[in-house]
Structures are given as structure tokens and as C-alpha cells.
Amino acid sequence: MTSATIVGGLLPLMTVSLAPTEVADAAISPLLVFWTQITCETVAMLICHRDIAFLIPMGFFVYRESLLLDWFSASLASHSTSGPSSQWFTCGLILSTVNLILWTGTLFVFALLRWAPELLSDEKCESPEIVWKAMVPHQMKQNGLKKKSCSIGDEQNQNHKTAPIKAA
């Protein structure tokens, strides 16, 4: 998480603010998408269901890929035309390459292979029980969610039912 914040947020922010215009223009779009993603994920954690909270970063990861390829292509083109003397163009090329590798790995390895199956499993992501009557959905239970498993305290309360005590 810290490496993604540094490589995806802080270093491009420094590049945009300090580098020449040719280098900064290529880095601004992925940086804007990264900060927008952070804002949307923060809001989604508070008010959205887990399925929606999962789709928000996935959408940003997929959308960011084309921007990262554009940034890498622009950095490669500006580095090849600038010559070996300019350090900013080399820094922009290295930063765009590292960002492309980091976010592609995050999308295809972490998010799709590790995070998606864990997050979307039935044990962690409850779904509402809905019955359709005359094309209108009706929830089966009051709270709207299926109870996948009962906790230890619930099992103990069911096993130790007590009879009311009568006065002698």
C-alpha cells in the first residue's frame, strides 16, 4: 500500500509540479485518476455494499491501464528525442515504466486472482433473499440478508434454554 501511494501518487505529483511541461503533461492524467480513485473508495467504504465497493477500484484499475500506456508511450517518445543529457525525461520514463508494471500487476495478479474470489465469496458477501411477485421484488427477511452462519454465542443460547423459575 505504501509503495503504491509513493509510486502512484507522490512521485507523479512531484513530477507534475517540478518537471518540464513535456514530462508533466504525460503524468497528469494517471495522477488525477489515482486521487479520484482514493476519494471514491473512501466514500464507498462508508455507504456502499461490498459488491459495489469492489467494482469501484476494478473500474479504476481497468481505466487507468490505457492512461498508463499513453504515459509510457509519451515518455518513451520524449526520451528518445531529448537525448541522453536530460535527466527529467529519463526520470519520467522510469516513473512511467514502474507505474505501468505496478498497476498492471495490481490489476491482473492482486485484484483479479487474490482479492476478487475472497471478496465475492458467499461467506463474506451476503446477498438478499428476494421473492418476485408480479414483477415486484419482496425481501424474505426483515434485515434483508441471508444468515450464512450463526456465531458461537447464538449456539450456546440455543443449547442452554432455561425454564422460568417459580416462587416457592
pLDDT tens digit string along 30-64? 999 999 999 998 888 888 877 788 888 899 999 99
Q: What is the DSSP letter of 81?
A: H
The more confidently predicted of residues 92 and 82 is 92
pLDDT digits (tens, 9 = 90+) for 102-135: 999 888 888 888 777 777 776 666 666 777 787 7
* Average pLDDT of the chain to the nearest whole number: 79
Average pLDDT of 53-78?
Answer: 91
User: Which contiguous run of DSSP H or E holds residue 90?
Assistant: helix 87-105
16, 30, 23, 71: CA torsion to nearest 10:
170
Q: What is the DSSP string of 106-145?
A: IIIIIIIIIIHHHHTSTTTS----EEEETTEEEESSSS-S
The C-alpha atoms of residue 26 and residue 67 are separated, in whole angstroms, by: 9
